[in-house]
Structure 1
Amino acid sequence: MNAPHIDVEQVEAANTAFYEALEQGDFETVSEFWLTPSDLGIDESFHDPADAGVVSCVHPGWPVLTGRGEVLRSYALIMANTDYIQFFLTDVHVSVTGDTALVTCTENILSGGPAPEGGDELGPLVGQLVVATNAFRRTPAGWKLWSHHASPVLAETEDEEGEDTPA
């Protein structure tokens, strides 16, 4: 097996593990997947970590989040307000060039919050279709997320002539 093929497999495994950590609500593991200044060999005592190797994230409907702290706060907020989430990834494509990798995929998301009236059961499940691009950088500790950008897919409706058009 050649090195580029191994890189693709490693990136795909890191991408899958990231989504699994989200499903499990494992904030510590989610945090470990995001680049840190030290992953890039930057001494934080001499550089502002917010300016070094800036990570970014766009959740569907959110503004751009920049900086590791802001990105991780967003995941903490999502996890705190979501009782159940499951990702079914489809159309996964991995491209690796040197120490950078892009993963594009469709996130078929099933999620639910607390039951109405504060009951113990899970609230109604909601499905969402999202396309995502995840940028990874190679580090001594493995492939780490540099950027995540997700956008909702608009539902298609039939127009008067019977053709599918975005809603």
Structure 2
Amino acid sequence: MAPEPLEGIDQPDDGGALAAHRAFYAAFEARDLDAMSDLWRHDAAVTCVHPGWPALHGWASVAASWASLFGGSERLQFILTDERLHRVGDVCWATVDENIIQGAHGATVNALNVFEWSDGRWWMVAHHGSPVAARGGEGQ
């Protein structure tokens, strides 16, 4: 049986934060609004920047962005590379290269995901994705 999408995020250690980070991508890939909603803190302090979008602040704006993104017809597949997790106190941030496959196309986005430990679990409070420009060769 597959683990529950949010299983492990109630662990106060780095493993719990990593579980929350991975749950974000599981919800994103599945285009599961309920799972995405369950992961985020629902308050005015959350922020999200999708590639090419202006910064969104507050849960209402962030939630609307996920609804818009998930309304598309083509599924996304994420291959995550160069994942790094850092923690200071009750805040943990993950950096990752999102290698995204959509149909016959692909792109890489550098992402920063921020989680806060509160009320007995890790909550997502920020996501920032920046597209990676194609490189012409090594060292450029």
Bin of the TM-score, shorter chain as denominator length: 0.7 to 0.9
Q: What's the RMSD between the two structures over aligned residues?
A: 1.7
- Give the counterpart of 1:140 among 114, 119, 123: 119
**C-alpha separation in 2, matches of 1:86 and 1:15:** 16
Q: Is contact 1:130–1:151 with CA below 8 Å preserved after alignment?
A: yes
Larger Rg over CA atoms:
1
Q: In structure 1, what is the equivalent of residue 88 of structure 2?
A: 97
Aligned to 1:151: 130
Asked whether 1:127 is paired with 2:115, we answer: no
Task: Check the 8 A contact 1:134/1:147 in 2, yes or no.
Answer: yes
Query: Are 2:46 and 1:67 equivalent residues in the alignment?
Result: no
Tell me, in whole angstroms, the C-alpha distance in 2 between the residues paired with 1:55 and 1:82: 27
- 4+ aligned runs moved over 2 Å, structure 1: none
Structure 2 unmatched runs, 5+: 1-11
1:78 and 2:69 correspond: yes
TM-score of the two chains, using structure 1 as the length reference: 0.73
For 2:48 and 2:73, locate their aligned partners in 1 and report how far apart those are by CA, in whole Å.
18
Q: Specify whether residues 101 and 82 from structure 1 end up closer, same or farther in structure 2 by C-alpha distance, changes over 3 A only.
A: farther
- Per-residue deviation at 1:21? 1.0
Kept after mapping to 2: 8 A contact 1:58/1:65: yes
Moved more, 136-145 or 93-102: 136-145
What are the within-5 Å matches in structure 2 for residues 33-72 of structure 1? 33-37=39-43, 50=44, 54-72=45-63
Structure 2 letter corresponding to 1:149: H
TM-score (structure 2 length as normaliser): 0.86
Calculate percent identity across the aligned residue pairs: 39
Could you tell me how far 1:134 is from its partner in structure 2?
0.5
Deviation string for 1:98-138 (max 9, x for gaps)?
110110010001124xxxxxxxxxxxx32110000011001
Q: 1:111 maps to which residue?
A: 102
Match of residue 32, structure 1, among 29, 38, 47: 38
- Work out the CA distance in 2 between the residues paired with 1:88 and 1:29: 19
Aligned residues: 130
